Amino acid sequence: MNSKAMIIKELRKVIEFYGELGFEYLPLKREDIYGLISEKTAITGRDSVCSNQNRAGDEDNYISDKEDALKNLRKEIGDCHRCKLSENRKNIVFGEGNPDAELMFIGEGPGRDEDIQARPFVGNAGKLLAKMILKMGFKQEDVYIANIVKCRPPFNREPGEDEITTCLPYVEKQIEIINPKVIVSLGKIAAQSLLRSKVPISKLRGSFHDFQNIPVMPTFHPAYLLRNPKEKWLTWDDMQKVLEKLKKR
């Protein structure tokens, strides 16, 4: 978990603690923060997440603000029936991964396997994506993966414009919460939806674009690469550019 998120979480607990003691405000300098947390820890006898002597597993007791926000967004979506995709889906596929991810992958929509398991990219295309993520030097739990639409289009057809329009605010909210350093959009629908563009993916890929001040690298969808394996080198070239961009941000 991101250390910044843990510090913020612990500071909230500290402020609540001193509020219960009657303090109306706490004038603090930056260098006072760790000392304040340590002092509160000594009074209460609780281990602080900022201590250098954390027990293994202590971090699991702290949920980042981003994780809370994602959970609240999932509750907001609920058992969604806002568009006709809900008529045939088995499960909503919200997305999963590290709420503090620096790298976010966004695909088109769930397929059959994803619809069954309620998880993104778990079919054959997902296996190829997993290999690419590992080759980039990440574990899957390091990144966040989502889709433009969260319900499976029947027969794996492309989602319609009305369906995209209905669902797009939710993936945009996920992006806002996670605030990744770089987004990789997988396939035509993901790229064109995020970038509000009609330019073909073959022309969009290979160059960075902007989504709310976050660099977006459009590339081919893994399902396309399964049908056209000779294009894998182009996608890997795109990922090299992503890795370079991550180093600079």
* Residue-by-residue DSSP string for 126-191: HHHHHHHHHHTT--GGGSEEEESSSSPPGGGPPPPHHHHHHHHHHHHHHHHHH--SEEEEESHHHH
Which token pair is 119?
């998880």
pTM above 0.85, yes or no: no
The helix (H) or strand (E) run that includes residue 210 is strand 209-211
Domains of the chain: which residue ranges? 3-61, 65-248
Distance (Å, rounded) from C-alpha 41 to C-alpha 244? 41
pLDDT tens series, the chain, 249 aa: 455 566 666 667 667 666 666 665 555 554 455 554 544 444 444 443 333 444 344 444 444 699 999 999 999 999 999 999 999 999 999 999 999 999 999 999 999 999 999 999 999 999 999 999 999 999 999 999 999 999 999 999 999 999 999 999 999 999 999 999 999 999 999 999 999 999 999 999 999 999 999 999 999 999 999 999 999 999 999 999 999 999 998
- CATH class for the region spanning 65-248: alpha beta
